[in-house]
Amino acid sequence: MSDYQPLNSEIKVPREWPVESMQNVIVFLAQDAICCHRSGKRFVMTVGDVSAMITDNGARPGYVFKKIEKIDDENIYRTDLLMPAKITILKRKPGGPDDRETESVQYLPMNLKFDHLITKLIVKRPDRHTVVTVVPDLQRILHLKGITGLKMYDYTFRTTYRVHNIKRLDDIISDMNLADSSIAAELVSENRWDIVCYDRLPQSQ
């Protein structure tokens, strides 16, 4: 099965999924998929732009997430894992352009969010569709760089996610702004969007 790789001793997943860097997260989400599958429900997991439906591993023990071209049944249960394609740290400079530093995504401390703003763009049926977004841990990253105290509030994180097949995105995106986070989107090719999120540490009141 050259198109697949072992996630662990019981589960095979598409070779395109980033098992090396995200194994613990994918295993965590795959366990939920297995529980759903055992209950008789069809379940699809999407990582990046590769979707796969969980199936039994034929006559062998374990499970295989078999790749599918598209999800065309609204009754399918599904989870999307969104990972940053790019992270840039911006430092505010009075009277001049921000300093910019692009980070290697795979080496940064991250958190998982189940209620990220992107969820509102993608999910139509929250009873059947979950979006898990990998987000940079702002405070830990700044501390690792030796940035502490009030200086931390001079930095903004610009995180870019590549997403697919989102309808009505223009109408939704214009209404989504928060005090300490903003979001924008750009159509980069047919059915492919870059969603850019700007985040900074909230200042204490």
Whether 67 and 88 share a structural domain: no
Whether 103 and 180 share a structural domain: yes
In a 3-state reduction of DSSP, which class is residue 10? Answer: coil
List the single range of 19-28, 43-52, 69-78 with lowest mean pLDDT. Answer: 69-78
- Domain final residue pick, 38, 65, 80: 80
Whether this prediction's pTM lies above 0.95 is answered by no
pLDDT tens profile 53-107: 999 988 888 999 999 988 888 789 999 999 999 999 999 877 666 678 787 787 7
Amino acid, single-letter form, for residue 29: L
Has residue 120 been placed in a domain?
no
Segments in 85-126 forming alpha helices (H): 117-122
- Domain final residue pick, 37, 65, 80: 80
Give the Cα-Cα-Cα angle 149, 151, 157 (nearest 5 degrees). 115
Has residue 190 been placed in a domain?
yes
Whether 61 and 149 share a structural domain: no
Given this model, what pLDDT does residue 180 score? 44
Whether residue 205 is predicted with pLDDT greater than 70 in this model: the reply is no
- Measured in degrees and rounded to the nearest 5, phi and psi for residue 171 equal -70, -35
Whether 66 and 94 share a structural domain: no
Has residue 100 been placed in a domain?
yes
Domain residue limits at 61: 4-80
Whether 87 and 100 share a structural domain: yes
The pLDDT confidence band at residue 15, using thresholds 50, 70 and 90, is very high
Whether 10 and 24 share a structural domain: yes
Whether 74 and 91 share a structural domain: no
Given this model, what pLDDT does residue 203 score? 78
List the single range of 72-81, 153-162, 176-185 with lowest mean pLDDT. Answer: 176-185
Distance of alpha carbon 104 from alpha carbon 97, whole angstroms = 22
Total number of domains in the chain: 2
Has residue 156 been placed in a domain?
yes
- Residue 191 half-sphere exposure toward CB, CA atoms < 13 A: 4
How much is the mean pLDDT over the chain?
Answer: 86
- Residue 37 half-sphere exposure toward CB, CA atoms < 13 A: 20
